[in-house]
Amino acid sequence: MDRINRIIRNACYQECLQKNRAHEETRIFCRHDMAHFLDVARLAWIENLERGSGIDRELVYAAALLHDCGRYRQYEDAVPHEQASGELATGILEACGFTPEEKEEILAAILRHRDKEMAEERGLSGLIYRADKQSRSCFACPAEGECDWSREKKNLLLRM
């Protein structure tokens, strides 16, 4: 997990976390922070193991840690956060030693983590899409009633 620890220590990544935190400091809804990123990583890894998908752990964790890193740009410049995250992740992945092939797979997962077509996808993009959606504890959220997600999209029950 050396490359994952390099991501966490990367100056650009740390700056992204700080900017996300600053923009969401008073946000009552789900935040885009390290807790969310790790929830997505762990849920994706569990599904990967349960399905026997064989996707490398560093790819799962890299995609999960980076999938919302550019969220602050959506607040600042109205850039869709999957696009901003993909742009930021490119340099971070290169600096942390990922191969061009690995980088391409991770970036695809980041860019498509909001794409409903990924719901049934068996690869990394599908894992990240599903884990991102499952990571939200709407059933325990004090702001659930004010959230603009549809009831169908909210996690109001635990699913296995």
Q: Is the pLDDT of residue 143 over 90?
A: no
Domains and CATH numbers, the chain: 1-135 (1.10.3210.10)
Residue 48 CB neighbours (<10 A) = 19
What's the pLDDT at 95?
Answer: 98
pLDDT score of 159 more than 90: no
* Proportion of the chain above pLDDT 90, given as a percent: 79
Q: What is the pLDDT of residues 37-81, one digit of tens each?
A: 999 999 999 999 999 999 999 999 999 999 999 999 999 999 999
Paired tokens of 124: 């990394």
Q: Are 80 and 74 in contact (CB under 8 A)?
A: yes
- How confident is residue 130, by pLDDT bands cut at 50, 70 and 90? very high
**How much is the pLDDT for 37?**
97
pLDDT greater than 80 at residue 154: no
Q: Full-prediction pTM beyond 0.75? A: yes
* Residue-wise DSSP of 30-89: ---SHHHHHHHHHHHHHHHHHHT----HHHHHHHHHHTTTTHHHHHHH---HHHHHHHHH
Could you tell me if 117 and 129 are in contact, meaning their C-beta atoms sit under 8 angstroms apart? no
- Quote the pLDDT of residue 160: 61
Judged against a pLDDT cut of 70, whether residue 7 lies above it is answered with yes
Q: Which of 54, 85, 81, 63 shows the shortest CA–CA distance to 3?
A: 63
Sign, CA torsion 17/20/25/27: negative
Q: What is the pLDDT of residues 81-118, one digit of tens each?
A: 999 999 999 999 999 999 999 999 999 999 999 999 99
